[in-house]
Structure 1
């Protein structure tokens, strides 16, 4: 086993431990998908600590040896735009929570250069992954990086305004003030969506949504910060914006066309609202 293979194997073990998933395929996916294939030629710029906020803390790897990037670090893809490859342990937790299964259909919003798309593709094969990326350069790189993945289609386009395919999983890697209604509607029964909820500059939560026979259940399960999703990151002036405590208490999402916001509303944003009651709980209509 080479030094890089050894580093990748240990990295995969760390990611699986971070995820806390009982699915052994998650560790296998991290061990077999080469991260360096999605980062461009090294040396690479590693983004450390609070660099995403302060602009400091960027470190160049000492060489182009891929062993340097098999750590739980962010790697810059477009430093000027603040776009990076993502924190591997965070994605391991997200992927573990959303539990991809063979044969499922995935839509990946904000695919970047395709690293986490590749992991998802391995986990749902022979199911398909449709990967949306708005940035032309990143979409082109993702298309090239994923050309050997027969079950992946890369779309250079806007996932907010485009028609998403019916999906068992929607995996969102850009912060939204609220998920577009169209995303909820394409979730299949039992489908799951995970997204960074950013209703205000001071609130950033990762939210898991599950489509049940009684409605859309939601679980804000951790703090999370992503770059804004173009076209879905600004609330209308009439919106009811939650503070962190109220946002974290949300347990369901409703379309305003299906149900009028009531006294359980934690947030009302555009055409949907968040409630502190789970789907199927007693209704308190104002």
Structure 2
């Protein structure tokens, strides 16, 4: 505990630094005048930028490290949290609300993991961030949020409605505007979804959380009736198709899929069809009111 403070005390951040040292900017403030590392969390502001500080299901506070550009490293302020015990420093938490902070008390580092977030001010660029799991040494006096998803040792797979507006990007970039190609992709998915339903199929999407990850993955479609996992792309260019293959292989590690398919707006050129079939992936695309399916075994049908 910080001398002269009790958990729940409110004061100006500048007063904290005047008394205990530490950097006045940023979220982590190792002190040169006291054996402490200060950290500041602003969950409301952070979530607008894809940062999620909060409690996990084990009662640990997950705190995103510092660094607004590029992949975060275990250096500078992050290193001081990592090594706080070895360096003989206590780890002291504050909740920030503007220039006012509330003292949360003393914490200790349990472990850490890496996850994705977008760069500050750039919702289109993803990077890797470090998340420290911290144990409070006493009751935290103020309410802090729970994590949207707590990392767990085993994968989780659930079927969710197709209409649910969930994307992997939306989880880490909630302030990001949809691109036109994403709307075209959504339209293609909607059309094929309707077609499958007319055939009597049960169709949804898969929400997958890999082991020890806090970011969910979402398939575009999951045909429960046939066990087919489907990824859609708005164009038939090579880069889009290669991305679809990577996504299907990633999702397919956790889904009990009998087949994989790429849903496209038109027939891809021959080499790309060969590439998809080489990986064992079906190709589905519309032709007028019909849907054409190209399979690796040559059984092509609507």
Task: Give the alignment's TM-score, normalised by structure 2.
Answer: 0.28
Between Structure 1 and Structure 2, the one with more helix by share is 1
Work out which of the two has the higher radius of gyration on C-alpha atoms and give 1 or 2. 2
Task: Give the alignment's TM-score, normalised by structure 1.
Answer: 0.29
